[in-house]
Amino acid sequence: MPKDPSSDDYVIGVLGAGAMGRGIVQVAAAGGMTVRLFDTRSEAVDEAVSFIGGMFGRAADKGRMTKEEADAALSRVHPVSSMQDFAGCDAVVEAVVENLDVKKVVFAELESIVSDDTILASNTSSLSVTTIAADCAHPNRVAGFHFFNPVPLMPLVEVIAGVLTEEWVCEALMAIGRQMTREPVRVNDAPGFLVNQVGRGFNIEAAHMVQEGIADTVSIDRIMRDGAGFRMGPFQLMDLTGLDVTHPATVLIYEQSFHEARFRPAMMMEARTRAGRLGRKSGGGFYNYDGGQADTPEEAPAPAYDRRPVWVSGAEPEGRADVLGVLNAAGARIDEGETPGADSLIIVTPIGDDATTSAVDQGLDAERTVAVDTVMGFGMRRTLMTTPITDPAFRDAAHGVMSADGVPATVVNDGPGFVAQRIVAMICNVGCSVAQMGVASPEDIDKAVTLGLNYPYGPLAFGDRIGPARILRILNGIYGLYRDPRYRPSPWLTRRAKLGVSLLTPNARD
């Protein structure tokens, strides 16, 4: 019978002493578990043990643990000189290079060493657990155990069941994760598992918008950080992670999902990867780095409002009210006519549509029309959008008056869903697709994304805050212009929007 992971004599083996492997060892030892660490490079093991000892020492110095606890934790780390030393381990976690052929060789060798009821877990971030297990003699005891970097600071771990993984294996890994003081979530095998699927909605969609000429990288980062509440913009995040990590994972998820349109990579990411513009690690990515600090261009001040009259469309009553509140506070001249006067700036507040569609559908002069996003970031950073023929004088007037209260505004080119509407709708839609496919429960989807990606809300909760019907409308607006299946709404979203219920609502039989 498999041993209880909370047993005092439970032993974990960790294969690979890189950043991920040593992080797993650190949290396991801190959680009271005995750990054996092996790497084909013996010096890597020595470096890892020294690093872990330093981390425990620092924790003791800062009062997060006593010196006795630090010493005890380090004493539970046992460097070993051969994979043969994993004999007798109750579970082994593989954390080697992200290469399927290498992992298959590793698992075949492990099976020749450990007992039949030893759990074999892979820390893979994007390779199919089912495929890794396929050539194993006992695929039923193979699972994914996906930690996030840096492991000691990122509380999430995904416990991934392959097609043949037995329930006791996942239950044991959930218990092991909790013993390591992590927050484990159950996931069924799927391309990119849970967190990496949802993350594609953030970075890929931003890259596609740059390719389309809607906005530059700095503007998108400002909008998503200041307006939508993300800790980092998508291009800041990709520079931190490195395009050599982000782009290959995107390509792999796209290929494993049989070219699912939602995961289609952006060409600019391939080009920049080949050019070596990887991010902070290479000294330059979407930003240049001087001494490790990003060289971020300063934002130009908004133009002064020139006092021309402003007419606000009533097609979206809530949006009109929001804009009028800002205009009145700024002392703007309001055009109260049923139709705009001949010299008035025209403001529209579309949901999902672009400025051109709004102007044409409402019979407005596109040369004087500027769209304002009142759905996302209106009180923190406003997004203004022009048609292809908006007169620069009207654009500048809109920029000036809509930032007169001190809230910064970013002007972008025409595109359905502005910037934040489009990215958040995609994040939500991918989360809904994950729920629809049964990859994870609605609660675990949101929990995993907030813990693993540090998003302000999980994808389903984000959709609830904006409103499922609005998210559906945004996606339909984008799809209506592009006719690209990447924007087709998930049935999970469509049904709950029609029923007027939370996106966290499970199916009745779940």
Q: Give the whole-angstrom CA distance, residue 346 versus residue 85.
A: 74
Q: Which two tokens stand for residue 424?
A: 């958040």
Instruction: Report the number of secondary-structure helices (H) and strands (E) in the chain.
Output: 19, 15
Are 11 and 55 spatial neighbours (Cβ–Cβ below 8 Å)?
no
Tell me which residues are annotated as active site.
Answer: 146
Contact 132, 105 (CB under 8 A): no
DSSP 154-214: --EEEEEE-TT--HHHHHHHHHHHHHTT-EEEEEE--TTTTHHHHHHHHHHHHHHHHHTTS
- Which are the contacts of 180, defined by CB distance < 8 A and separation ≥ 6? 24, 27, 28, 30, 31, 33, 157
Residue 334, strand partner residues: 310
Determine which helix (DSSP H) or strand (DSSP E) holds 431, and give its type and residue range.
Answer: helix 420-436
Q: Is the separation of the CB atoms in 505 and 442 below 8 Å?
A: yes
- Closest CA relative to residue 250, chosen from 230, 229, 273, 228: 273
Cα-to-chain-centroid distance, residue 354: 25
User: For residues 27 and 52, what is the distance between their CA atoms, to the nearest angstrom?
Assistant: 10
Bridge partners (DSSP) listed for residue 13: 36, 92
Per DSSP, 226 falls in state: I
- State how far the Cα of 13 lies from the Cα of 5, in Å rounded to an integer: 13
CB 219 within 8 A of CB 409: no
The residues, ordered by sequence, that sit 6+ positions from 409 with a Cβ below 8 Å of its Cβ are: 302, 381, 382, 383, 384, 399, 402, 403
Q: What are the structure tokens assigned to 430, written together?
A: 């991918």
User: Dihedral (C-alpha) 257, 259, 264, 270: value to the nearest 10 degrees?
Assistant: 100
| H runs (alpha helix) in 186-309 | 195-211, 217-222, 234-241, 243-256, 267-274
Question: Do residues 420 and 434 make contact, with C-beta atoms less than 8 angstroms apart?
Answer: no
Of 459, 437, 385, the C-alpha closest to 415 is 385
Strand (E) or helix (H) holding 479: helix 468-482
Beta strand residue intervals within 350-435, DSSP E: 369-372, 382-386, 409-412
